[in-house]
Amino acid sequence: MDIFRPFEENRNQASPNRNISPLTTALDKEQKLNVGGCKLSSLAQEYGTPLYVLDELTIRTSCREYIDSLRKYYPGKSLPLYASKANSSLLLSSLVASEGMGIDVVSEGELITALKGGVPSDLIVFHGNNKSSDELLLAYDNDVKIVLDNQFDIEQLKEIVKLGNKKAKLILRFTPGIECHTHEYIKTGHIDSKFGFDPDELSDVFVQLKDIEWGELIGLHAHIGSQIFEVEPHKDLAEVMAKTLQKGREIGHPLDILNVGGGLGIRYVTSDDPPTIAQWVEVVSKAVLNACNKRSLELPCLMCEPGRSIVGTAGLTLYKIGSRKEIPGVKTYLAIDGGMSDNPRPITYQSSYTAFLVDRPLAKASEIVTIAGKHCESGDVLLHDFSLPNCSSGDVLAVFSTGAYNSSMSSNYNRIPKPAAIIVSNGNSELIQLRELPEDLLRNDILPDRFIKKVS
Ligand code: LLP
């Protein structure tokens, strides 16, 4: 089978989350892979490998599909927020803001990245199940909307606001009690989740937060999980949220925001079959609309928090193939110059990926190989039993759909420096994150004096 064909076919389906590769993926005259008008092998040569590559057009298209679909299907106000945990950088903050999206952040680091990237503070929502008082203070000072996840948030924030002269803008997160099909680790909507208030305590919390001087409860939030292909759970979520909105308003809270979280899946391998962004938004919007109309509720501003479906398929990682180990009759390992430190998803969630040789994407597969990383861990394998044309050390391999939860979850395991990241568009490439140097890894090490004496 021509495994390159799915890219061509899927591209016609428009929604970027249904393409394994960026929208601009193309073959040039020499039948070599190009993205954003740039030859991938030239990028590997210019910037080195491993290299994270992001395609600007794909990201912008995803942002627009969320914005336009919300406008089309939801008659009230709406705002999609990019969940920056998927991939946080100054560039991405600036890019999504330029498309009119807001941003969801979960730490001081993500918050300052959003602010410095130029996201207006009233378009930032601050999450977290264990925010520090410094983080809360930063969010409060910057007029960022704060998601109350638990009583600890309430206790800390109360003290912080005492020092200021304005009320904090609050969104209440609760666990909706909805099950969906995804990996156990990335489900969040079920009752025993660590995130958000339990639905049974909501009435008490609404009463507790009534007429407080330190804040104003303006919205509700719930998120059911990530990499979800079904839309049904979001219909159930809308019902639960509208019911809770009604309860909160009856108690007297000016609830004007309904934030339904993120979770739309993307295609990593051809068998993945997520709905399009537009289909997801249509279901969510109509469900919220119906649930509100049924209860004669004034429509709240509908927010959602897509992460993976904004950047996932816009990204790919370039690696150089190095060593080969053949175990006759068992398997053949091809090792690449990265692995679990730049993409921890296969070892963490047993995730599958699709890869191509950048200079011979159409070459017939001739062997089944295991693409292993270079880390000292047997489980450091990016692709199991993967069909590839015969290749040798020095060949460049592109692993697709790595734009989300790769860079943001990367580590320095084995003291391996993190890759550089670039953005490509219209034949240009620009560096957005410097490659770490081995020396950078020593930056925070301290050798106490008495050890220095021993060494010298
Ligand atoms: N909002 C909240 C509150 C979330 O917890 C998440 C993801 C999102 C939005 C964005 O969800 P998305 O649209 O990206 O599915 N590291 C895992 C994914 C963890 C997702 C955590 N929360 C992975 O690599 O699959």
DSSP state for residue 407 in the 8-state scheme: G
CA of 128 to the centre of ligand 1 (A): 12
Catalytic residue annotation: 376
pTM of the predicted protein model: 0.95
Name the residue among 412, 400, 194 with its Cα closest to residue 314.
400
Residue 404 has pLDDT above 70, yes or no: yes
What is the maximum alpha-carbon separation in the chain?
78
Q: What is the mean pLDDT of the chain?
A: 94
431 token code pair: 């560096």
CA of 45 to the centre of ligand 1 (A): 33
Burial class (CB in 10 A: 0-12, 13-18, 19+), 352: middle
Domain boundaries, the chain: 127-306
CA of 443 to the centre of ligand 1 (A): 30
292 token code pair: 């509100």
State the pLDDT confidence band at 453, using cuts at 50, 70 and 90: confident
Ligand 1, pocket-test mutation among 17, 231, 308, most atoms within 8 A of CB: 308
Q: List the beta bridge partners of residue 192.
A: none
Q: What is the DSSP string of 80-132?
A: EEEEGGGS--HHHHHHHHHTT-EEEE-SHHHHHHHHHTT--GGGEEE--SS--
456 token code pair: 């010298």
- 215-235 residue pLDDT tens: 999 999 999 999 999 999 999
Q: Closest residue (by CA) to atom 9 of ligand 1?
A: 262
Q: How far apart are CA 98 and CA 80, in angstroms?
A: 13
CA of 352 to the centre of ligand 1 (A): 17
Residue position matching structure tokens 């600007």: 56
**Cα radius of gyration rounded to whole Å, the chain:** 23
Ligand 1, pocket-test mutation among 17, 79, 85, most atoms within 8 A of CB: 85
Residue position matching structure tokens 């190989």: 369
Please say whether the beta carbons of 320 and 398 come within 8 A: no
- 311-357 residue pLDDT tens: 999 999 999 999 999 999 999 999 999 999 999 999 999 999 999 99
State the pLDDT confidence band at 165, using cuts at 50, 70 and 90: confident
Please say whether the beta carbons of 382 and 399 come within 8 A: yes
- The reply to whether omega before 50 is within 30° of 0 (cis) is yes
pLDDT (0 to 100) of residue 2: 36
Q: Which CATH architecture has domain 127-306?
A: Alpha-Beta Barrel (3.20)
Name the residue among 358, 379, 254 with its Cα closest to residue 316.
358
